[in-house]
Structure 1
Amino acid sequence: MTPSPDARPPVLSVRGLSVRFRLSGGRHVAAVTDARFDLAAGECLALVGESGCGKSVLASALLGLLPGNARSTGSAVLDGDTDLLAADERTLARSVRGRRIGLVPQSPAAHLTPVRTVRSQLEETLRELTGVRKPALREAAEAAAARASFPAGHLDRYPHQLSGGLAQRAATALALIGDAPLLLADEPTTGLDRDLVERTVDELRRHTDEGRALLLITHDLAAAERIADRVAVMYAGRIVELADAGRFFEGPGPRHPYARGLLDALPERDFAPIPGMPPELGALPEGCAFAARCARADERCGRLPVFDGTVACHHRLSADDDRRSKERTDA
C-alpha cells in the first residue's frame, strides 16, 4: 500500500460537493450532499455503496456531464488549479476529459462510437493524446487493448458486435491511453467474470502504482479490497464513512452500521442482507437516512449526524463489534 495521502498534495480536493436535480412541479432530488475528500497521486480511493446512492452522479459532476436539470455546488479542485465544478464546457472538453482525467464509464455503449471499429477508436485516441502516427499506430493500438485484456482478434469489430464485458474492456482501454493524472473508473468490472475482474482492477492498480490517482466507484467490495488504499462509503447521497482500506476490510473494521452491513452481506462473511430499502432521494428524512434500517437507531437519530472526516453516525461501532462479527463468521 502507498504511504498516507496526507504526506502528498492532492490531485483532487473535493469540498461540499452537492448535486440537486430539478423535477417537474418544482420538486428537487438531493442526489449528492456535502461530499468532501482528498485524493492523492499514487492513491486509490474506492467509493462504495448500494445502487442509487449517488456514486455515479458524483462522478458525472466531476466531469461536467450532468444533465441540464442538475445544479452542482461546492468545489472540486484538480491539481490545485482547476475547479471542475466552475470550469466551462470548453475547458473540460479540450483540456480535462481524456487528458487530465480518464474515464472508465459505467455504460460503455454510450461512450463507444457505434459506426467505427474498436481499433479505429483506439488509434484516434492514441493520435490525439500521445501523438503516435503510422506505422507505429497499429502496434500501439494492440498494446493499448492488451492493457485492458481486450483480445486483439476483436479489434476490428464494431461496438454492437461486442458482449457487455468486451465493451467494458474496450472502454477501459480507451481510458488508459492518455495516462491521465486522475483516472475515474465508474463500475469498471460490470459484466466481467471474476478472473477478468481481477485482471482489470490489477491493471487499474498498476496505473496507480505509477504515481497516478484513481477514484474507483464500485459496488464490488472484493474488487475494492483488492486495490484500494482508502474506502469512502456513500448512503442516500452522503459519504457516511471514510477509512483506511486495511482498517475497513480487516480490523478493527467499519465504524458505521451501514458500512458494517455491506461487509456482513458478503458470501464469505455473514451473508446477511441489510434489512429494508434505501430511502427515496426525493423524500429523505430530516435525521439519519439509515435509521429506518438500523438496529441501533434511537431518538438521537432524528437529528442528522455530522461527518467528522471519518464517520457520520450517532452510534459508531467499536473494535468489539468487529470482533463479534468475525466470531459469527468463523462459526
Structure 2
Amino acid sequence: MTLTLHQVTVRIPLAPGRSVHAVTAADLVVRRGTVHGLIGESGSGKSMLAATITGLLPKRAHLTGAVALELDDRTLTTREIWRSRGHTVAWVPPSAMTYFTPVRRIGSQLAETIRYLGAAHDPVELLARVGLEVTVLQQYPHELSGGMAQRAAMAFALAGDPALIIADEPTSALDAERAAAILGLLGDFAAGGGHVLLVTHDLTALQESAICTDVSVMYASRIVESGSAETVLDNPGERYTKDLLAALPENGLSPLPFRTPELVNLPDDFRYGTP
C-alpha cells in the first residue's frame, strides 16, 4: 500500500501571461507504515504539494499528473482521494489553534467532526489516543497551549480512521519537548500501518527524532532529491541539500549561497545556482 505522485504539476494563474509555478513534475512515493519527510526552505512548494494531495488547492489552480493511494482492496485516484477526505487522507495544520472555531469548545467541535465523518469514535477515546485529558473537551481553543492544540488537531485527524495523514509543519512554534511528542504521535500512527507525509523545515527535530524512513527535498517547486533518510540527511547527493543542511546551527549556520526564487513564471530549466 502506497501513496504515489507521478509528474504532478500545479500552476495557479495570476493574470494573463503570469502564473505561480507551485509544483513542477513532482514524483513521490510514501510507503505504508512509514513517515516520509518533505523538507526545503519556505516558499519551495512543500505546502502546495500537501494541498494537492488533500484537495485543498485554490479553485483556480490547474493540476496535471496523478495522485494515487493504493489500499488493500483498490487504488483511489486523485479525485476519489479528495472526495473521501477525512477517511482516506487527513490533514494536521500548522498553528492548529488558529484553525479551530474560537467560540466553541473543543468537545463540541470534535463531536461534530465525528458525526460528519460517520465514524464510531468517541471524543474521550480520541483525546486519550493523543495524550490529552478529558477536561480538554470543555475548553476553548484559546485555553490550550500550543502543544495541546497540536495534539487536539491530531485527534481530529484520527476521527475518520484515515489511511494517510499529511502533517504540515506540525511542530512549528513548539519547543523541543512538545515537538518530539507530536512527532511521536505521527510515528505511532505509521507504526500502526498508516502513511505519513511530514512537511517540515524543522530539520533539527527531524534528525533528532529519527522518525522518517524516507526524505524528499523540494527547491523552487521541484523535488530535487529523494531517498532513505539516512542517505539524504547524512550523505546527500544534491548541492542544494548539502547547503540546506549546512545552514543548521549544529552544522555551522552557513547561509545558503543562493536565494529562493519567486515561483512566478519560473523558467522550466531553472535549477539551484541559476543566476
| Structure 1 length-normalised TM | 0.74
For 1:111-150, list aligned pairs within 5 A: 111-127=99-115, 128-132=117-121, 137=122, 141-150=123-132
* Amino acid corresponding to residue 244 of structure 1 in structure 2: S
> Aligned match of 2:163 in 181, 189, 211?
181
Aligned partners of 1:149 and 1:199 also within 8 Å: no
Aligned partners of 2:18 and 2:265 also within 8 Å: no
Task: State the distance in 2 between where 1:165 and 1:258 align.
Answer: 32
Is residue 7 of structure 2 the alignment partner of residue 16 of structure 1?
Answer: yes
Is residue 259 of structure 2 the alignment partner of residue 277 of structure 1?
Answer: yes
Q: Which has the higher contact order (CA 8 A, sep 6+)?
A: 2
The alignment of Structure 1 onto Structure 2 pairs a total of residues equal to: 269
Is residue 87 of structure 2 the alignment partner of residue 99 of structure 1?
Answer: yes
Task: State the distance in 2 between where 1:129 and 1:220 align.
Answer: 35
Q: Which runs of 5+ in 2 are unaligned?
A: none
Deviates more, 1:239-248 or 1:266-275: 266-275
Is residue 154 of structure 2 the alignment partner of residue 195 of structure 1?
Answer: no
Q: Which residue matches 2:141?
A: 159
- Report Cα offsets for 1:236-276 as digits up to 9, x if no partner: 000000010112233xx110011111111112222212123
Identity %, equivalent residues:
40
Q: CA RMSD in A?
A: 2.2
Aligned partners of 2:54 and 2:90 also within 8 Å: no
Is residue 215 of structure 2 the alignment partner of residue 231 of structure 1?
Answer: yes
Summarize the Cα distance change of 1:248–1:26 in structure 2 as closer, same or farther, 3 Å threshold. closer
Shift of 1:111: 3.6
Task: State the distance in 2 between where 1:209 and 1:38 align.
Answer: 17
Aligned partners of 1:15 and 1:34 also within 8 Å: yes
> Aligned match of 2:59 in 68, 82, 87?
68
Shift of 1:49: 0.4
Structure ID, larger Rg: 1
Q: Which residue matches 1:54?
A: 45
> Helix, strand or coil: the match of 2:11?
strand
Aligned partners of 2:258 and 2:272 also within 8 Å: no
> Helix, strand or coil: the match of 2:103?
coil
Aligned partners of 1:168 and 1:190 also within 8 Å: no
Task: State the distance in 2 between where 1:160 and 1:26 align.
Answer: 44
> Helix, strand or coil: the match of 2:63?
strand
Aligned partners of 1:172 and 1:188 also within 8 Å: no
Task: State the distance in 1 between where 2:260 and 2:271 align.
Answer: 8
Aligned partners of 1:43 and 1:229 also within 8 Å: yes
Is residue 153 of structure 2 the alignment partner of residue 171 of structure 1?
Answer: yes
Task: State the distance in 1 between where 2:150 and 2:189 align.
Answer: 17
Q: Which runs of 5+ in 1 are unaligned?
A: 1-8, 294-331
Q: Which residue matches 2:76?
A: 82
> Aligned match of 2:30 in 36, 39, 56?
39
Q: Which has the higher strand share?
A: 2
